[in-house]
């Protein structure tokens, strides 16, 4: 319990830092710190599988994110504080507000119910998780896959565009 009270402020601080830092690499590294602290939180709560997956996926993903951020921003952008231009803030809000709404809705939905606290997450079967992931939640998994592919292609296009302009 004490660990939670130490961890959660650290997670929030790291996340705030990730937003606040102007240099993309600093922001990405703080994001990695925040996400791996969330993984530690999962481990402490007894969700071993989730915690390890969180750690491996997000730390690896942040490494890729850094590469892409270096590809699609030019060195001069680092000092210009690209993230604080009005149009960037507007685009960020358009992306962030729906996500926040969904999160608030789902958290408020689960606060009242008791079944969440009763089931022990450490007792689940790995095979059960796999089955539900690829049957019940298959549309969500596929949607995420499509979204990630779109992001990759978009980043590649951006990078290519910049290179052509410079040469």
Q: Of 13, 27, 30, 164, nearest to 82 (Cα)?
A: 27
- Please report whether residue 64 would count as binding other proteins according to CB under 8 A: yes
Query: In whole angstroms, how close is the CB of 5 to other proteins at the nearest point?
Result: 17
- Please report whether residue 161 would count as binding other proteins according to CB under 8 A: no
Interface of this chain with other proteins, residues 77 to 96, rule: CB under 8 A: none
User: Cβ contacts of residue 152 below 8 Å, gap of 6+?
Assistant: none
CA torsion sign for 89, 93, 99, 104 is positive
- Please report whether residue 31 would count as binding other proteins according to CB under 8 A: no
Query: In whole angstroms, how close is the CB of 59 to other proteins at the nearest point?
Result: 4
Work out the end-to-end distance of the chain between its first and last CA atoms, rounded to an integer number of angstroms: 57
- Please report whether residue 48 would count as binding other proteins according to CB under 8 A: yes
Query: In whole angstroms, how close is the CB of 129 to other proteins at the nearest point?
Result: 12
Query: In whole angstroms, how close is the CB of 154 to other proteins at the nearest point?
Result: 18
Question: What is the rounded CA–CA span in Å between residue 41 and residue 21?
Answer: 24
Nearer to other proteins, 91 or 148 (CB): 148
Q: Are 54 and 43 within 8 A, CB to CB?
A: no
- Judged by CB under 8 A, the stretch of 11-19, 49-57, 106-114, 134-142 that binds other proteins is 49-57
- Please report whether residue 22 would count as binding other proteins according to CB under 8 A: no
Distances (CA, A) of 69 to 25, 95, 147, 156: 8, 18, 18, 11
Site of interaction with other proteins (CB under 8 A): 25, 29, 32, 43-44, 46, 48-49, 52-53, 55-57, 59-60, 62-64, 66-67, 70, 122, 126, 167
């Amino acid at each position: 319990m004490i660990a939670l009270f130490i961890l959660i402020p650290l997670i929030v601080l790291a996340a705030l830092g990730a937003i606040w830092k102007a240099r993309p690499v600093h922001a990405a590294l703080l994001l990695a710190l925040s996400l791996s602290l969330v993984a530690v939180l999962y481990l402490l709560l007894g969700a071993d599988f989730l915690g390890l997956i969180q750690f491996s996926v997000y730390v690896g993903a942040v490494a890729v994110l850094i590469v892409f951020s270096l590809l699609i921003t030019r060195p001069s952008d680092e000092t210009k504080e690209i993230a604080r231009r009005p149009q960037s803030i507007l685009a960020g809000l358009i992306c962030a507000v729906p996500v926040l709404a969904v999160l608030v809705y789902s958290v408020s939905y689960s606060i009242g119910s008791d079944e969440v606290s009763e089931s022990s997450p450490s007792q689940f079967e790995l095979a059960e998780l796999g089955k539900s992931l690829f049957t019940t939640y298959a549309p969500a998994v596929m949607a995420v896959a499509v979204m990630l592919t779109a992001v990759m292609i978009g980043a590649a296009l951006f990078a290519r565009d910049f290179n052509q302009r410079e040469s």
